[in-house]
Amino acid sequence: MQAPYYNEAVRRLFAAPAHAGDASGITADVARGGAHVVLAADLDGSRIVKMRFRVLGCPHLVAAAEAACAGLEGQPAAALREFSIGDIMGILEIPVEKTGPMLLLEDAIGALGQQIISKDSNRS
Amino acid sequence: MTDSDALYLDYAASTPPAREVAGAMAACLSGREPFANPSSTHASGRAAGNAVDEARARLGALLNASPRDLLFTSGATESDNLAIAGAARFRAHRGRHLVTMPTEHKAVVDTFRALEKQGFDVTWLRPGTDGVLDIVQLEAALRDDTQLVSVMHVNNETGIVQDIGAIGALCRDRDVLFHTDAAQSVGKLPIDLASLPVDLLSLTAHKFYGPQGIGALYVANRDGCGVEPLLHGGGQERRLRPGTLPLHQVVGLGAAAALASERQADDLRHMQVLRDQLWNGLQKLPGLHLNGAPEQQYPGILNVSADGVDGESLMLALEPLEVASGSACNSLSKEPSYVLRALGRDDALAQSAIRFSFGRPTRAADIERATDIYCAAITRLRALAPQAAG
């Protein structure tokens, strides 16, 4: 039997992405190769209290963005800079040809972390 | 296994065998009806041979062609290969220039690519933005050493219909063979080979409610027209396509052809109604683009692109609607359709294209449901996308 191209987790997260939308705090906007990711985070001090995403891209990218936002919410802001897409790629069984969109998401999360650093250094 | 909730609107990919077709094939497979090798000379073989003759006659009646000009093959891909490579070799002593279009089915495109590697010179004519071949452009491309032109009748992705009468007449006037891949039109649009100047025509049964794995090639019986066989090993099919004929599939094709002869006009009207209903329903959404002009399209196919959505996500969001995507050769490819790119669509629009295709079993309620599913999917994906993309 042919293995499903989208595993159950991808299908579930794609069908009902609870973190799709906007937040009022910092944002990162990255586009490449026809895919587009916008991330937004609200912070309470150094903690991420709300993560939201918007995506134009494949189901794997939507599901990965949803998984990343869900995982980062409640974490310290430093988690953005330490984020690696590898775990999510494993859980969602992302095929190798989708590495490009996954790196786009990783870049967007990294850019969000960079914005927090810039904001903090401006403040100090 | 199929999803009971599924809504199948992919009849351009394959149609289900009609009840009459399945019945005729089952009778063959049961051993009650002719089952023997149609080439055998004993009574059972002759009975099988008679069943083949009847199927060939039924197909001939559908196309208004002499049955002796029809060769059974394994399907349109084999017919295309035999027609193009076979005719190129048959006429190679006269010249090695061939003409086709990049918007043809892969079975045609890849056969011409293989011939290029063998030293044939191929001119690739691009269609206008309406998808139609400009006959003046074709005339300019013909040379003294041109031997074959191949242009499909109905495009499998867009439903665009080429004027095979005018193309064939030009070719006939210039003593050039004309092949048409009619996989999407046989049994659906009227085809009269007694009056159309077509030399070679490919078809497959499973596009008109026959079984998969059986097709035919028409080879006109006139001077200068012929094909070199690609296979060797027996005298079947006038030595042009050897091998024992699959009797049950041949009988199935014949039954499908007979049914198409009866139903074609009604089917065509049915397709028109369904297509209009779907397009009228979809137009409540902004940012949709019809791929191809309706007056030049077979109404059983509707191809639509949408602004601001990813094609792969759209395919998943459309489930349980079963349609075809705008990706080139399979639903998981991210490569935008080369056919839609040739029509001038950019990558994003070509990649978001969905081909709806209708069949005899499709009802107005199915179209209503498909409209709701498509509109909901587009609305949801646009809401998910960054604002600039929507």
Q: How far apart are CA A23 and CA A50, in angstroms?
A: 7
Arithmetic mean of pLDDT, B275-284: 97
Model confidence at B334: pLDDT above 70: no
Q: Is B171 a catalytic site residue?
A: no
> In this predicted model, what pLDDT tens digit does every residue of A76-92 receive, in sequence order?
999 999 999 999 999 99
Confidence category of residue B336, pLDDT binned at 50, 70, 90? confident
Chain B residue numbers with beta carbons less than 8 Å from the beta carbon of A64 are none
Q: How many CB pairs under 8 A join A and B?
A: 47
Res B388: pLDDT: 58
Q: What is the 3-state secondary structure (H, E, C) of chain B?
A: CCCCCCEECECCCCCCCCHHHHHHHHHHHHCCCCCCCCCCCCHHHHHHHHHHHHHHHHHHHHHCCCHHHEEEECCHHHHHHHHHHHHHHHCCCCCCEEEECCCCCHHHHHHHHHHHHCCCEEEECCCCCCCCCCHHHHHHHCCCCEEEEECCCECCCCCEECCHHHHHHHHHHCCCEEEEECCCCCCCCCCCCCCCCCCEEEEEHHHCCCCCCCEEEEECCCCCCCCCCCCCCCCCHHHCCCCCCCHHHHHHHHHHHHHHHHHHHHHHHHHHHHHHHHHHHHCCCCCEEECCCHHHECCCEEEEEECCCCHHHHHHHCCCEECEECECCCCCCCCECHHHHHCCCCHHHHHCCEEEECCCCCCHHHHHHHHHHHHHHHHHHHHHCCHHHC
Query: Which residue's entry shows tokens 């009619």?
Result: B182
CB contact under 8 A, A56 and B334: no
CB contact under 8 A, B385 and A56: yes
CB contact under 8 A, A29 and B386: yes
CB contact under 8 A, A62 and B384: yes
> In this predicted model, what pLDDT tens digit does every residue of A28-71 receive, in sequence order?
999 999 999 999 999 999 999 999 999 999 999 999 999 999 99
Q: Which of B78-92, B95-109, B313-327, B364-378 has the lowest mean pLDDT?
A: B313-327
Chain B residue numbers with beta carbons less than 8 Å from the beta carbon of A101 are none
Q: Does A36 touch chain B (CB under 8 A)?
A: yes
Closest Cα in chain A to B308: A56
Q: For the whole model, what pTM was predicted? A: 0.94
Task: Pick the catalytic residue from B28, B225, B329, B375.
Answer: B329
* Whole-complex ipTM: 0.95
3-state secondary structure of A72: helix
Chain A residue numbers with beta carbons less than 8 Å from the beta carbon of B330 are none
Confidence category of residue A122, pLDDT binned at 50, 70, 90? confident
CB contact under 8 A, A54 and B387: yes
Closest Cα in chain B to A28: B386
Q: Are A58 and A92 in contact (CB under 8 A)?
A: no
The residue that leads in pLDDT, A52 or B389, is A52
